[in-house]
Amino acid sequence: MALCALNDDALGMISDGLCNPLEPNIIVAFSSANKGLRALNQVLLQQLKADREVAAALCRRMGMGSCGELREAKDVHWEGNGLCAADMATLGTLVPVLPLLVSLRLRESSDAACADGVQQLMTKVRTLPALDELALSVMPVGDAGACALAHTLGRGALPRLRVLELFKADIGDAGFLVLAPALRELPGLEVLGLVANPFGDEGLAALVAPPPPPAGAPSPPTAGLPKLVVLLLDSTQITDDGCATFSSALDRGELPALEFLHLEYCPACLAAVDAVRTAMVERREGTDFRSVMLRYTD
């Protein structure tokens, strides 16, 4: 069908889909197809110009030479530069136009207002099918951000995710109870870092010992997180009860690939943590003891 035969609503939907602050030439070329389109898209083009300027400023703050460099990036690592709420909001709008992105690592924001931008980012990462690594450290993810990520994962997003790090992200039991079941559905997750989050035994149980399915519902065919090798739980609120839950889960065959478990600076006592160590070692009979690393303190 010729463009001239489409009504304004249809043309508007197409134009919205083609708007890309990192590559504005596409919508400019589309608008040049006829006079009607040019008139229809004038406001849109003005907004796109403003968005392009904001994106260019963000690229400069990230140390990138141009918007094109960001558009083609496979790795975006922005650490220690004081992310603000405006930065996170802009990045959230740009994530859907970064099709090549494999690794996204953001670190350190003292701006509590970033929480809204983080939540937006958690919903937009669904547009990154190639994403292998997602790391948000010292960021206000919070329970709301954890729930947003859980909703995204529940829609089948991030099928290739291998590394997820949420260090000092202010995720408590309420958020982790929602996020944990979604994490268990990630088939290729190998590294899960949850250091310095305030969740405890209840959140841990949702990850390693979920409740049985309702009567009549089919049981899951395999244990969750079948490829998880590294689990970092330092400085969480896991107690003796959480350690007992963990040991029982290991005895049942949960986390079959787990080799590295860090439980340093948690409220659990030495004996409780040592019981987890024993459960890990006993199920790996014949494996080099050094491959099972469990750190703990009194």
pLDDT at position 38 = 60
Nearest-10 Cα torsion for 267, 270, 273, 274: 180
Q: What is the pTM of this model?
A: 0.84
Q: Average model confidence (pLDDT) for the chain?
A: 83
pLDDT at position 51 = 84
pLDDT at position 122 = 93
pLDDT at position 188 = 95
Residue 112 has pLDDT above 80, yes or no: no
**CATH T-level fold of 71-295:** 3.80.10
31: Cβ contacts below 8 Å, ≥ 6 apart: 15, 37, 38, 40, 41, 45
pLDDT at position 99 = 85
First CA to last CA distance, the chain: 73
- Please indicate whether residue 110 or residue 116 has the higher confidence score (pLDDT): 116
Q: What residue has token string 């303190």? A: 297
pLDDT at position 42 = 67
Two structure tokens written together for 13: 């939907």
Cα–chain center distance at 76: 14
**Mind giving me the DSSP string for 191-203?**
EEE-TT---BHHH
Q: What residue has token string 């309702």? A: 214
Two structure tokens written together for 208: 């390693």
Residue from 127, 83, 126 nearest 105 by CA: 83
Distance, CA of 238 to CA of 114 (rounded, Å): 28
Give pLDDT tens digits for 193-241: 999 999 999 999 999 988 776 666 666 556 689 999 999 999 999 999 9
User: If pLDDT is split at 50, 70 and 90, which confidence band does 69 have?
Assistant: very high
Please give the average per-residue pLDDT across 244-264, as a whole number: 93
- Please indicate whether residue 262 or residue 13 has the higher confidence score (pLDDT): 262
Distance, CA of 268 to CA of 241 (rounded, Å): 8
The domains of the chain are located at 10-70, 71-295
Distance, CA of 22 to CA of 16 (rounded, Å): 14
Residue 45 has pLDDT above 80, yes or no: no
